[in-house]
Amino acid sequence: MSDRYEGFDAFVAARGAALMRTASLLTGNRVAAEDALQEALTRVAVRWPKVVRGGLPEPYVRRVLYTVVVDDWRRRRRFEVDPGGAPDGTDGIDIAHNVSSSLLLKDALRRLTPRQRAVLVLRYYEDLTEVQTADALGCSVSTVKSQTKHALARLRELAPDLIAAFSPDDYAVGDANGDTSTSEVLT
């Protein structure tokens, strides 16, 4: 491989599993997640020297991944669920003690609209602000807020037991700007 792509393979090897988890959460379908991640990495590889010069490549790669997934949603306007679409636990993290909560959450997320799922994944899994989420999805902050509100209401309806899985100590209050922490979404 030429010097032009120096570091690309190492980046994919180091961050590929995390990017695959995000793609799986965004698509709800293992095959679609693999396709989206491959497309995103292909787009990034073409611009790799410029991406590396710009600083940390992961935020750029994630942005491209979100764009690929949203573009696919817009093209298809239809969501298909793959029951075998669980992300691999290949990064060495032991998640056995969270299996039932994870399965419940995964099932509930699959039943949300693609945009609602994307907003929740970006806001609470990726821990992006409302402004960053709006930028990543190419929509307004008010759209992010309304989609978050509707998605959380739907999650409460679909998975009321999920809320009980978290202790009261996990709940937080909005900050001075009205932004909420990850744990507040479950209240």
What residues does CATH 1.10.10.10 cover in the chain? 98-187
pLDDT for residue 99: 54
pTM for this one?
A: 0.51
Higher pLDDT, 182 or 67: 67
- pLDDT at 118 (0 to 100): 87
Distance CA 136, CA 40 (A): 14
* Residue 132 CB burial class (10 angstroms; 0-12, 13-18, ≥19): middle
- Both tokens of 177, joined, read 């700007």
Compute the distance between CA of residue 14 and CA of residue 162 in angstroms, rounded to an integer: 32
Residue type, 14: A
| Mean pLDDT to the nearest integer, 167-178 | 38
The predicted structure's pLDDT at residue 162: 66
Average pLDDT over residues 140-157: 90
pLDDT in tens, 15-31: 999 999 999 888 888 89
pLDDT, mean over the chain: 75
pLDDT for res 121? 86
Nearest to 59 by CA among 26, 114, 1, 11: 11
Angle at CA of residue 13, ends 93 and 32, nearest 5°: 80
* Residue pLDDT, tens place only, 25-55: 888 888 989 999 999 999 999 989 898 888 8
Kindly indicate the confidence band of residue 76, based on its pLDDT and cuts at 50, 70 and 90.
Answer: low
Q: Count the neighbouring beta carbons within 10 Å of the beta carbon of residue 55.
A: 9
Would you tell me which CATH number, out of the four given (1.10.3720.10, 1.50.10.20, 1.25.40.10, 1.10.10.10), belongs to the domain 98-187?
1.10.10.10
Q: Which helix (H) or strand (E) holds 14?
A: helix 8-27
Higher pLDDT, 137 or 1: 137
Residue 15: other Cβ atoms inside 10 A: 16
How large is the greatest C-alpha to C-alpha distance in the chain, in angstroms? 54
